[in-house]
Amino acid sequence: MASEQDVRARLQRAGQEHLLRFCAELAPGPRAALLAQLESLEPEALREHCQRAAAACAQPPGPPPDLAARLRPLPPERVGSVSRSDAERRRLWEEEGFRQIALNKVAVLLLAGGQGTRLGVTYPKGMYRVGLPSQKTLYQLQAERIRRVEQLAGERHGIRCTVPWYIMTSEFTLGPTAEFFKEHGFFHLDPDNVVLFEQRMLPAVTFDGKAILERKDKVAMAPDGNGGLYCALADHQILEDMERRGVEFVHVYCVDNILVRLADPVFIGFCVLQGADCGAKVVEKAYPEEPVGVVCQVDGVPQVVEYSEISPEIASLRAPDGGLLYGAGNICNHFFTWSFLRAVTREFEPLLKPHVAVKKVPYVDEEGNLVKPLTPNGIKMEKFVFDVFQFAENFVAFQVLREEEFSPLKNADPAGRDSPTTARHALLAQHLRWALKAGARFVGAHGTRPPELPSGEPPVVCEISPLVSCFGEGLEEYLRGREFQSPIILDKNGVRALDP
């Protein structure tokens, strides 16, 4: 390990010598930990990172003045849609997707490095339970969807197949996630096919370009955003691992969407048959001002433009069919070919520009007192996974139904949106729709029939295990013509009545 003198010289070159100001008063253990952390920060990169953060934060907020003239919706031929396509076309997409899965050419990659600060928990979001009757966590739901899609593809093609699961964690989430999977026996997946890896961390920086001391013996660090994926793929030889397995197509998604369809054969089949090297699932924006990024073109290049960068006038523009002209809402659900990811890691990643996130960062003041600021005091720099769309040779978007595929978990209850309650309601409403379509009937406690079309909170509780049905498929044999009293769970053992 480098000496304090060596570390101090490195920090002087970076203009960050203040990080050692409490070093002399630290006990040997904390002092060694601080020096080890500081030694890992390359001086030139640290100086550049801090300068770039301060400069980016000093830029005036708001959209570039000429953005409106450069903005265009995606060309119609590059956009697919579940709802606007006929059954035969959807069947062809699904068939191709299952074929690629059966050939072991498809992997899923989970972005799970965030801290869940808004949700108010101290553990990884994937370990969260939203209050389902089964008490399943997000991780368990996703693991079971992988098992089911492997089963469906295998049955169609008469072979056993594997969808490897790559999980990008961070310093905050790696340990707890690894332990959680071990405790639960990897949810009956082969541990060799669940690959955890860690994204990089970057120092948080003050508005005047100084790295922040979180404690006397620790620099405040934050994950480098979900766009840190591309450095992490290279750092941990993930693409080499995929190549050994024969993976050609990767479905990337975010941990917090309770409705996510992993290795969705329809989406994969659409992208493959379109010859796409990069694709994004989108949902139609609910209203012009909805705070979601928009998948569109800037200067003819595919891009996600943040909602804050689009003026209300542009956001309200309508297409000839009456829908929003810029209505393709980004939901962090992407398709990449392996070869495109390799090109990004080898050529394009250095071209990605970090984004500024202004945050409240705990710190120690000049006297060494811990301060938890009430207002934002620091900058976290992060890259976004979708920033690579601009490098795609053949980019496509695929529009799906929000009620079937998108309900993120971001805020603690009792928030009115993107909360445990809204996520739970979304999943149970979906399962009720599936059950009714499969021919189930529900009666109330006194024989009365509850309304059959859910609105908001579902009128009856019917949870369907992903091991039975991933997409609403195959439910007729369990449910057609049968009458049930809420609440029920349908799992591999059949229908179970629960105590109301």
CATH number, domain with residue 328? 3.90.550.10
Residues 39, 80 share a domain: no
Residues 443, 313 share a domain: no
At which of 18, 37, 58 does a domain end? 58
Q: Is residue 188 part of a domain?
A: yes
Residues 75, 30 share a domain: no
The pLDDT value recorded for residue 454 is 46
120: left (phi over 0), alpha (psi -120 to 50) or beta: left
Task: Take residue 337 and report the two structure tokens written for it.
Answer: 């070919």
Helix (H, G, I), strand (E, B) or coil at 293: coil
Digit-by-digit pLDDT tens for the chain (500 residues) are 778 999 999 999 999 999 999 999 999 999 999 999 999 999 999 999 999 999 988 887 666 778 888 999 999 999 999 999 999 999 999 999 999 999 999 999 999 998 777 898 999 999 999 999 999 999 999 999 999 999 999 999 999 999 999 999 999 999 999 999 999 999 999 999 999 999 999 999 999 999 999 999 999 999 999 999 999 999 999 999 999 999 999 999 999 999 999 999 999 999 999 999 999 999 999 999 999 999 999 999 999 998 888 889 999 999 998 999 999 999 999 999 999 999 999 999 999 988 998 999 999 999 999 999 999 999 999 999 999 999 999 999 999 999 999 999 999 998 889 999 999 999 999 999 999 999 999 986 555 666 555 456 899 999 999 999 999 999 999 999 999 999 999 999 999 988 76
At which of 356, 384, 405 does a domain end? 405
Residues 314, 267 share a domain: yes
Residues 71, 21 share a domain: no
Q: Is residue 36 part of a domain?
A: yes
The pLDDT value recorded for residue 56 is 86
Residues 395, 253 share a domain: yes
* Pick from 1, 46, 2, 4: nearest CA to 25: 4
Residues 195, 110 share a domain: yes
Identify whether the C-beta of residue 163 lies closer than 8 Å to the C-beta of residue 106.
Answer: yes
Helix (H, G, I), strand (E, B) or coil at 380: strand
Q: Is residue 301 part of a domain?
A: yes
Burial of 312 (0-12, 13-18, 19+ CB in 10 A): exposed
CATH at 458: 2.10.10.100
Residues 184, 98 share a domain: yes
Residues 445, 360 share a domain: no
The Cα 81–Cα 49 span in angstroms is 41
The Cα 149–Cα 264 span in angstroms is 8
Residues 72, 50 share a domain: no
| 8-state DSSP, 120 | T
Helix (H, G, I), strand (E, B) or coil at 296: strand
Q: Is residue 410 part of a domain?
A: no
Give the DSSP letter string of 440-465. Answer: -EEE-TTSPPPPSS--SS-SS-EEE-
Q: Is residue 317 part of a domain?
A: yes
* Residue 276: C-alpha distances to residues 74, 187, 291 (Å): 14, 32, 28
Q: How many domains does the chain have?
A: 3
Residues 254, 316 share a domain: yes
Residues 150, 127 share a domain: yes
Q: Is residue 420 part of a domain?
A: no
* Residue 452: C-alpha distances to residues 50, 95, 485 (Å): 57, 32, 13
Q: Which domain holds residue 14?
A: 4-58
Q: Is residue 192 part of a domain?
A: yes
Q: Is residue 423 part of a domain?
A: no
Identify whether the C-beta of residue 167 lies closer than 8 Å to the C-beta of residue 195.
Answer: yes
